[in-house]
Structure 1
Amino acid sequence: MAHPLRENSIIVLGDWLQTPAGAYVKAWEQARLDALTADIFGFNAVQIGLPEINALQANRMPRKWQTDRHVPANLPNGASASVVVAHDFTELPFASQSLDLVVLPHVLEFAAEPHQVLREVERVLIAEGQVIVCGFNPASLWGARQMVGRLSGAHFLPQHGEFISLPRLKDWLKLLNMEIDRGHFGCYAPPCRTSQWLDRFGFMEKAGERWWPYLGAVYMVQAIKRVKGMRLIGPAWNKNTALIPNGVPATNKSHRNKHGQD
């Protein structure tokens, strides 16, 4: 069962994206996600959590879903994905090996069992399917600011999130046979609360990319699911994936029974 405080933190992060610092992060991530997902092809794509960011708007797959713990009141402009409610991200309502792309925008750092969420993503991805993970970088000025905030009580980000370092995330992905394809860092300005100060530090974007590329406030990692002993010849997508009436791939019953569910 997910920890209630951490569940609420995901919702709070959506509110935080409305602040100047949040808008700064959201703009960078939206632009990067558009660039990464535009050329990922297949039939089924899913964004898990944080509907305030439209991670799949540039992707051209015919079936796209937004999975969240509640029905979002306000979806981003241009949102075209169907909404699927999943109360637990460690039990996704999709069949095994049915998805070509899964995007996790800041889900792992606010999940009670982040490694189990990744295991579930590995289950639903087809061979050579891709996952994109967005996260806050603890090895950054923002990470240091968050650590100080925990001591002083003046939090810059939702306090119950646990930043996951990139080496740690890479280890988790490697254990699940996920091969890192590419990674990006961004948002090099200091953790300022006003647009005025964030704009003043705008010069740090290009400087950071050149001189201290691993110290960006946020990172984005793209990985590919590899299956040992399998060699793909031509397109491996399956147009006839079993679907339930509303168009969502049916849940794998054996996976649920393993966890003691009907």
Structure 2
Amino acid sequence: MDNAASEKSIIALDSWLQTPAGVYVRAWEQSLLDALTADIFGYNAVQIGMPQIDALAANRMPSKWLADTRPRPRAGNTAAARQVAVTFDYAELPFASQSLDLVVLPHVLEFAAEPHQVLREVERVLIPEGQVIICGFNPRSLWGLSHLTGRVTGSHFLPPAGEFISMPRMKDWLKLLNMGATHSHFGCYAPACRTEQWLQRYVFMDRAGPRWWPYLGAVYMVQAIKRVKGMRLIGPAWKKSAKAPVAVPVTNRTSSTNRKQERQDG
């Protein structure tokens, strides 16, 4: 996928996110991102792409930015009207090495021209023990199956240009860059429905899915930490206090002295 095709696919994703299925996905991802980012501490956090959600809304870092490939029009009071602070090519992040504590990639890698390069750049800009959160469509789901059949029939449910990456494969990519996955989640278990009415009819599947078919959610989220070889966090050095000598009661010392003297006299 070249850069022009990547840009077209991102535009297609923007349109899809306004559909009932897109709203359904955004609601699940926003809720989970709020829970995951609330307790991640540091100074600098960046959300790359997909301004339709605020991935850093619940995070309390002092410096938070939304970055994308292009500025967005500020029209109305919609989520898409959020201001983009930085614009760039996904494969060349304009941040200093080891300068960010948290990077969130909502559906960036599957629509990027060079997903491996994007991940390498994320690893570069993260500080040691910095974290990345990745959202993606699950190819091993009912939606993934619909995506495959759409390439044959021409009737696409999801944006057709996306190259969806399975969670195990994503974890392998992260592992190669010394970023270990710490948490993973699946969600949106309803079938590929185009209307809100039909999505509501399958709402029971979101309650049953995590228990009965946990790995078949339409979307997933992976949280990983950048590990640096030869570096580990060191806690406070607690010194063991020397054991205090056991005091012998005066009466015991006196009795012991008397018995010793009696043995000598005898």
TM-score range, shorter chain: 0.7 to 0.9
- Indicate yes or no: 2:224 matched with 1:223: yes
Mapped to 1, the partners of 2:100 and 2:151 lie a distance apart of: 38
Change (3 A) 1:148 1:80: closer
The answer as to whether partners of 1:64 and 1:82 remain within 8 angstroms in 2 is no
Residue 8 of structure 1 deviates from its aligned partner by: 1.5
Question: How many Å separate the matches in 2 of 1:35 and 1:78?
Answer: 22
In the TM superposition, what are the counterparts of 1:1-262 in structure 2 within 5 Å? 2-74=2-74, 77=79, 83-86=85-88, 88-233=89-234
Larger RCO (CA under 8 A, 6+ residues apart):
1
Give the TM-score, by structure 1 length: 0.85
In structure 1, distance between residues paired with 2:2 and 2:78? 26
How far apart in 1 are the matches of 2:39 and 2:104? 14
> Is the contact between residue 25 and residue 188 of structure 2 (CA under 8 Å) also seen in structure 1?
yes
Unaligned runs of 5+ in 1: 235-262
Work out the CA distance in 2 between the residues paired with 1:81 and 1:57: 14
Q: Does the C-alpha gap of structure 1 residues 216 and 225 become closer, same or farther in structure 2, counting only changes over 3 Å?
A: same
CA contact (8 A) 1:137 1:165 kept: yes
CA–CA distance in 2 between the matches of 1:226 and 1:60?
23
* AA partner of residue 27 (structure 2): A
CA distance in 1, matches of 2:79, 2:144: 30
User: Unpaired segments of 5 or more residues in structure 2?
Assistant: 236-266
Q: Quote how far apart the aligned CAs of 1:11 are.
A: 2.0
Report the AA paired with residue 16 of structure 2.
W
Using the aligned pairs only, state the percent identity.
71
Contact kept, 8 Å, 1:21 with 1:195, in 2: the verdict is: yes
In structure 2, C-alpha distance between the alignment counterparts of 1:160 and 1:99, rounded to whole Å: 30
Partner deviation per Cα, 1:173-210 (whole Å, 9 max, x = no partner): 00000011100000000000000000000000011011
SS for the counterpart of 2:31 is: helix
Question: Structure 1 counterpart of 2:162, which letter?
Answer: G
Q: Distance in 2 between matches of 1:102 and 1:66?
A: 10
Give the TM-score of the pair, scaled to structure 2.
0.84
Cα distance between partner residues in 2 of 1:159 and 1:106: 14
Residues 221-249 of structure 1, C-alpha deviation per residue, up to 9 Å, x if partnerless?
00000001112347xxxxxxxxxxxxxxx
Query: Residue 191 and residue 115 in structure 1: after superposition, are their counterparts in 2 closer, same or farther (change >3 A)?
Result: same
Report the structure number with the largest CA radius of gyration.
2
Could you tell me which amino acid in structure 2 is paired with residue 164 of structure 1? I
Q: Is the 8 A contact 1:54 1:76 kept in 2?
A: no
SS at 1:182 equivalent:
strand
Total equivalences in the alignment? 233
Pick closer, same or farther for the CA change 1:222–1:36 going to 2, 3 Å.
Answer: same
Once the two structures are superposed, residues 34-61 of structure 1 have per-residue CA deviations (whole angstroms, 9 ceiling, x without a partner) of 1100110000000111111111111110
In structure 1, how many angstroms separate the alpha carbons of the residues matched to 2:39 and 2:14?
Answer: 27
Cα deviation for residue 7 of structure 1 reads 1.7
